[in-house]
Chains A and B, each alone.
Chain A
Amino acid sequence: MEIKDKIVPLLQEQFPETNFEVTDFRGDLKIKFDASLIVPVGNFLKQHDELKFNMCEDVTAVDWATKKKRFTIIYHIYSLENKFRLRLACDVEENHPHIESVVPVWKSANWYERETYDMYGIKFDNHPDLRRMYMPEEYEYYPLRKEYPLMGIPGDLTLPKK
């Protein structure tokens, strides 16, 4: 039995009341579930003896530009032992978008979450050091949101005097 077929039954067994939405597109396994469960699910996937998803490769978000469930937070985690990559997805709302930070589970998520905060304005609760990653600290906007224009808002970033 391949690792790919094991993950979902194991998860379902551990979290019987949760609805896991599974998609398999071009061989990428994606599991979507409720945002409040990200830390327990992450802990389970990391510490399970067979799965061992010990590396968090990426955290990002997708802005769907819809009223309901505007953002989806995407986690890519990798199991060095099984050589398998898994994608986790959680929807969050537009109004005060927030999700529990996974830094206690995967240390490397620290900067990825900061980057996501910088680009989308999604708050990661209990993040040790939630600052902007790229843009200046006093910057007001979140550039990767769909309503933000490509060329920026005139005057939002300052230039030195000539």
Chain B
Amino acid sequence: MGLEAKLMSDGFLTTTIDALVGWARESSVWPMPMGISCCGIEMMAVAGPKYDIARFGSEVMRFTPRQCDVMLVAGTVTYKMSHVVKKIYDQMPDPKWVIAMGVCTSTGGMYRSYSVVQGIDHFLPVDIYLAGCPPRPDNLLNALMLIQDKIKNTKAREFQNIPLLEPVKVNGN
């Protein structure tokens, strides 16, 4: 059997709650596939058999925002679409992360034109900017791993803006 068999009958591990929650969170990042254009096809390829996003616990592509942790904005966001993206982002439960996949999502890229938003950070907080037009699927996996690192190292209180307790000062030396 596994680790538990090696332990004595009522074995235990010590850890912090944050580490445990972070570990649980990072290994089941459910993406919200916001496939808008070309990058959406590469996102499909990541879900496909060759790159297999399931290895990272993210194969559960949920098309409803209510069940998602990370939004993959894959493709050119136009002004008309930006309202939709924002609406979907707002519906995702906290804590949530955003990957801007591809240059046209990150900066407008090759689309210097009247209808394209020059970077989704004009209206969304973005965690990872992913280069490439479109990025190769391996690159998206890399972004996912970076997000996992970020999730792992984030303390739970940071999501809720609770300040750290003041350390108790011992008076009188």
Contact = CB atoms under 8 A, between A and B. Distances in A.
Given A151-B112, A161-B123, A135 B82 contact: no
A136 interface: yes
A17 B41 CA distance: 55
A158 B112 contact: no
Dominant SS among interface residues on chain A: loop
A120 B115 CA distance: 15
A77 B120 CA distance: 41
Contacts of A159: 79, 82, 117, 122-123
Interface of A: 134-136, 143, 148-153, 156-162
Contacts of B113: 150-152
Nearest to B87: A160
A159 B115 CA distance: 11
A151 B114 contact: yes
Contact of B79 (A149, A150, A158, A161): A158
Interface string B88-109: 0000000000000000000000
Contact of A135 (B86, B115, B122, B123): B115
B83 A160 contact: yes
B169 interface: no
Interface in B16-52: none
Contact of B123 (A151, A156, A162): A162
Among B79, B83, B123, B124, the one with the most A-chain Cβ atoms within 10 Å of its Cβ is B79
A54 to B, nearest CB: 34
19 contacts: A135-B80, A136-B79, A136-B80, A143-B114, A149-B114, A150-B113, A150-B114, A151-B113, A152-B115, A157-B79, A158-B79, A159-B79, A159-B82, A159-B122, A159-B123, A160-B83, A160-B87, A162-B122, A162-B123
A151 B82 CA distance: 17
Nearest to B77: A159
A157 B123 contact: no
A157 B115 contact: yes
B115 A143 contact: yes
Given A143-B115, A162-B123, 11 more contacts: A136-B80, A143-B114, A148-B114, A149-B114, A150-B114, A151-B113, A159-B82, A159-B117, A159-B122, A160-B87, A160-B123
A103 to B, nearest CB: 25
Nearest to A161: B123
Nearest to A143: B114
Nearest to B79: A157
A5 to B, nearest CB: 43
Interface string B113-131: 1110100001110000000
Interface in B128-146: none
A136 B114 CA distance: 13
A118 to B, nearest CB: 11
Contacts of B115: 134-135, 143, 152, 157
A157 B115 CA distance: 8
Contacts of A161: 123
